[in-house]
Structure 1
Amino acid sequence: MEKQKLSLEEIISGWLSRQPKWYSQAMHLALRGEYSSEEIAALAAAACEEAGANLKAEEPITLAPYEQSDLASVGITSREVVLKSITAVNSVNAIKPGSELRFSSTGLTVIYGNNGSGKSGYSRIIRNASTSRSGPKNILSNVFEEKAVPSASFKATVNGHPNTFVWQADNDGYPIFPEISFFDSNCASQEISGRDNEVLYTPRIIGSLTRFSRLVSDVANRIQLASDQIKAVIGVSAVPVDLRDSKRITDLLASKDEAEATRLASAAAMDQKDKDRLLKLPQLIASDPSTLLPTLTRRRNELATMRNQLVGLYKCCQADFIQSYARAQVEESGAEKAATAARDLVRSSSMLDGVGNDVWKTLWEAARAYSDNVAFPKEKFPIAHQGALCPLCQQPLSEEASARMNTFEEYVRGAAEANLTNKRYALKKLVKQFTDAVASVKTGRSAVGMLNEASARESMDRLLRRLEGIDAMQEEQVLAELSVLTEEAGKSIRAEIVNLDAKIKAATESKNPEKVAQLKEELVDLKCRSWVADNKEILVSDAAKRAKKERLAAAIGTCNTRSISNLVSAVSKMEIVERMQESFTYELGRLRADKQPVSLTTHVKTGRQYQQIALEGTREAARNVLSEGEQKIVALAGFFALLDVTPGKSTVVLDDPITSLDHLWRKAVAKRIVEEAAIRPVVVFTHEPVFCNELSDLSLARDVPIAYRTVSRRGTSTGIVIEDLEWEARSVNERIKALRNEAVALRQREKAGDFRTDSELDEELRHCYSKLRSTWERAVEAVLLAGVVERGARQVHTQKLKQLIDISEEDIRTVDDNMSKCSLLTEAHDDPLTAPDAMPTIKDFEDDVKVLADWAKAVNKRR
């Protein structure tokens, strides 16, 4: 047996039974509507009380629990909007400013208009102001006039109260009338696009549950605010660095129990003996060789570094270094002379200025490359033998020119210049060795204070004073002076290093690290106890605060919006998904499209419900497989399914809903529209006269009120509204009704003396008989031939031929006689030989209209 589905009441009640008790009170508030800050505070207090925390509200409020009757308040939509009229105020396409299009408050309003009449302009404004699958679209202003922002005004009744609303193109966003549903070809294309579309209908219960989720979050925020205001006085940063790892202190800082914190703090109490021991321990630790050894070793290493720096300076002041420096100076001077001689030789061999400079060297290198690689690849440059050609001027070289070229090449090869560079580098290296040694000794100035012996400090001070201002190589006399001072300082430091080595050896032999570790551990514990004793009251108070924050955190933990999301999903499945899927299948059947292999799938993404009309058995998008007509009828099924689940009776608007549909689906859509118009106002925009007739006939058969508007153009202006259908778009019954009304109007005018002559009345009657003749033509098509053949339609409805078997000779005679009579009187004929003997009267016209009405009624009745 199939498991019975749970009701909405059962789903919510069952879910609440598994939640904290205060959720019931929150659900009651959310279903009731908006809630106050005081109610949030009361819920927060209830949530904390349930979690064992005390959070009293400033003004206590008694909260009622959820009851199933609460759901009654969310059973209907908040607004019901009936569209009354729309006025194109300014620059809406080419619609004449001030043009008003009115709609009926009940039944069906058909807006008829040819292409380019302005009908679509009105439709676009409605689309941008209502809910549609395609959303708002850009509306152009009149491109032939000065650019302005398109604007319009709406008249509508909201929950029975008349209102006026203003719309402007630059304010498109949330629609003015989200309750009004709109459909056009763009909506159809979007509906079957193969992409996710957000479900346009959200039941009020979903909105209430969303408000419930927000309320629970507000409660969590209120509790969090109270928790944030509870701040501990002492944190880790307030603890001395060397005590932060103490378990005694970390336990107290982490304690969330006031009694436990009191016990821990009391256990740390110190007597006078403990305080005296705390003062003595640092001296004991410092006197132990294990404590002294690192200090001695550090001083020894620093003095060794200072002595090495002195050794480096001392070497730069000795005879070997001085001799090397002097030799380097001589070699650098000799290399300079040799390079100068080479440059002079080049200049003396040349008859031009600039020989030997960089530009000239570039020229010479280019000549070498040309000679070696192109001109004389088998000979080495310069080619200076007798009869050789110059690579530059390409003239034979003389003996003098050959010698000059060899001189130039030797100079460019740069043996003398290279030697000079090397000698200069060697000299500079020795100078740098000396200046670096001086700078190194100067950097040890700060370490002089660690020398124990006054004589050692004095010797270092003398050396450092003498080094002041020395930043270059000095003469031999200065170096000799520095050698003496450096040697004295080095001996003093060496003596201190020897003394330190003895102390380090003694300390190493007598150290006791285990004892020092014990003393240090005891010192840290006594410091911790002393710190705890000094801050006992604060530590105990902070523990109580942490305990309260923990209980508040537990209360915040009950504010589980994820669980609420699961509830929303369950309710959405029942209220939206299942209803939409059932309605979609039902609407496919009503529209005679139940054989289309499509289904409506839904899913939740980022908290929103999405739908997609998909082909069954394939992942291919419906629009890539279905024909245009199939796409349109399937999209219409989705639109009407949305109307089925949407509460209220707000206006529905459809713009050209039958484009791309064949006659069978067109009739099914017309029938479905009329059925919808029986329960709510429906507005249909169309340019199809036959569709107008179908809507008229179906509305008459179901006794659904129907009103007509025709939108036309006049010159460059569009959107001119006539409060009726154009003659060509009217059905036979509508035309008969209009003809009868014209006969009444003629009688009233005749009685009022509006006609100056009989000829004026005759002219009006001829006009009326012209309309009567066209009505007989339409009656032959729609009544006698039952729509088997329709003007303007490609197809022939052969399935209707069986209705034609009852056509009698009397039918043919009636049609022929009345058509002939009308033809004699029509304005299109001007043949005096065929003119009637006498013009008919108004009474004759009424009788002739009655003949048509009775005949059409009889034919329809017998069928």
Structure 2
Amino acid sequence: MEFNDHIWEWSSGLPKWQNDLIRRLYQKSLLESKDTDEVINNILHENGFSERILTISPLEKNHIPNKNPKETIKITALKNFNNIAAIEPEYGLEFSPDGLTVVYGENSAGKSSYAKVLKQACRAVDDKTKIHPNIYKSSGSISTADIHIQQNGTETIINRVVNTAPEQQLTSISIFDTDCARVYAESENEVVFIPTEFKIFDDLARHQTEIKQRLLQLKDDLLKTLPTFHELASSSKTKTFVESISYKTKEKDIQQNCIFTEKDNDRLKQITKDLKVLVDSNPVKLMQELQRNINDITNLKNNLQQILNELSFEKVKEFVSVNQRYLDSKATMEVLSHEAFEEQPLAGVGSDPWKKLWHTAKQYHGIAYPGQSFPYVENEAKCLLCQQDLKEDSRIRLTRFEEFMTDSISQETAQLHSQRQDLIAKIKSLPFTKVAESSVRTFFYQDSPELDMKAELFIQSAIKISTLLQNAETDIHLSLNDFPEIELPPLKEMAHWLEIKNSELKHLKTIARQDNSAELFAEQNELVSKEKVTKRIDDLYRLAKIRQEVDKIDKAIKSLDTTKLTKKYNELSSSFLTDKFKNEIENELKQIRREHILFKLNSRGVKGKTTIKLALDSNSKININEILSEGEQKALSIAFFLAEISSIPSNGGIILDDPVSSLDHSRREYVAYRLVQEAKKRQVIIFTHDIVFLHTLQKHVNLQNVSASYCSVRRNGNRAGIAKTEMPWIALATGKRIKYLKNELPKLKKLESQLDSDMYVPQVKTWYMLLRESWERAVEELLLNGVVERFNPSVQTQKLNKIKFSDEIVQLVTEGMTKTSTYVHDESYAIGRMIPSNDEMIEDLNNLEQFNKFFK
């Protein structure tokens, strides 16, 4: 398989984010910040960050550069520049599809702007090239250029937007310039060379390392936001749990270990009270006080129960009934009494005082006349009060009184009166005073004011009812409507309260017996920690979430490991970087006279740094820049480049921008030779500002009989990139110089009649100066047959046999040089020489042309 087939097969098994990253790198090589952000989002999304936006476009096979395409692509023109540097749209360059094309231009002429467009479009090793618009013009339009290409004889145009991904069609074209050369020479004790096809591994490793640093920073930033819980007791289980929270911690785990429940709250209150008892109080004294209060409250409850029992609605109803029956019976008795005692000698007979007296006498009768029925009036019976003998009328009266008193009405009245009095006596005996004045009421109010208030309301309502009932002693009529509804005492609540207090008493006895204050303090710390952390439960959830996010980031960081890249690189390098490649490097180093640098070819990747290393074969660890000069490093870079393209089986074109800067003349000579040699089998385009190198290229083109085309790029004021098919004057041969001068004559003839002499004379003098230079070039080129040339570093002695030399030829040169020098040098005022006419100038040029034809 071809290299791109291997990459395609390998990439299909990679994670989606990495597959997408390879696609981006093939399209852009150097990612913009927006691309990097999207790649980071893709990695995080694939590692669990679902809120991250996924922006993935899978790699396609045509994204992978193919250095060995089935059909060779050639660039034929570069035109229609829009908003690129200072180059106007009407200018452009044309290239020979075969052989060599040399584009010459001085510094600042705009030559590099053309080269950069091609460099970006063809995937140069250096991927940091940035093309800028004309900085002196404000234009919002995008920068574009048209690249004309030829494929199988068919011409097409690539409408390129600059600063975008390289063009898929141009992947077989190799680029070299000064910036590319820097990539090859950068490390300590070694020259680093990355074959273009293998550069994807270095790009991947570099970007994955950068992304890894971004993720590490993201992780650090997240860890800085972790909530802390310094307020928790250091020895608490709660703090231990909080410190153990990890990405595995679930919400239910937090709730189970950190939620402070109502039960926990009650327990904390109890512990606080217990500790207060144990540390600040006397448990025995507290037990005694609590026992006394329990007893007093129990008595209070019983008293309230007693009052309730006697003043219940049923009891009040019974009392009202007894009272009413008594009053009714009493009224009846009063009527009967009036009838029975109306004619008695003393008033008040039958009244209550009298009845009391009667009952007292009856009780005394049992003492005075035991065994006799009352009243005893027989024989010697005496009055129970005055002890005098009873007279007949007294006997009759006592007997009648007894009969009255023993009558049913009288009995009923007496019975009801007695019953009412009993009820009143019970009411009077109710413990209102005990309840109202009980000292425990103060404690009860402080401990349970609500219950005490209910008890107080009951007592007040009971007192009102009691008072109304006791008023019955005055024989007033009572009605149930006269009585307010009694407030019920909180008997059940008091019973519950007593249960609680008895439980507290029992608990007090227990803690007094155990005295476990140390355990209670520990439990208190635990519950306090739990209470504190519950108030920050959202921070706990956030802590767990951050831990989960950090774990996801760790997984993402792990996925960025470059070990697999290095392994794949080693696998492919073993297959593709063969002995042929090594031999090509050895040969190129030898040709540039760098064979004294002993080297070892190391194609093993280290930590994702996928490079070929031409290391100095030395035990000394010295910086490469201290060993090799800039020129030597440039020579090595050229050697690497030439070795690489020579190892590629295809004949893809090559483009070079100033390839010989910093090189000495001998290495320039070799580079020119090699590039012309490459032009025999592939399209070669060279941009240069070096006139000597241009001359050297021309020489080797002639020596190797290679087809070549030349053009120049010039600047005119603010306009740059002005391309012309002819070379600059200094690079023109004698014949082309004659042609140029001949074309200038009609222009000068026209200006002769339009300009005054002060303006016309300098242009004529310039024309003669160029004619003089042409005679000089003719001497080098024709008379000396190129044996000695000013731009040539060597003397071509093999050309001596073709030199034509005679006095006549010398005379022609002498006359030509003399005539032209006359008008070039400054002359004395006294000479007053006339300006040559146009016809005379034609005749002088004809002399040079005849000289040229003589040698042809």
What TM-score comes out, normalization by structure 2 length? 0.45
Select the structure of larger CA radius of gyration: 2
TM-score (norm 1): 0.44
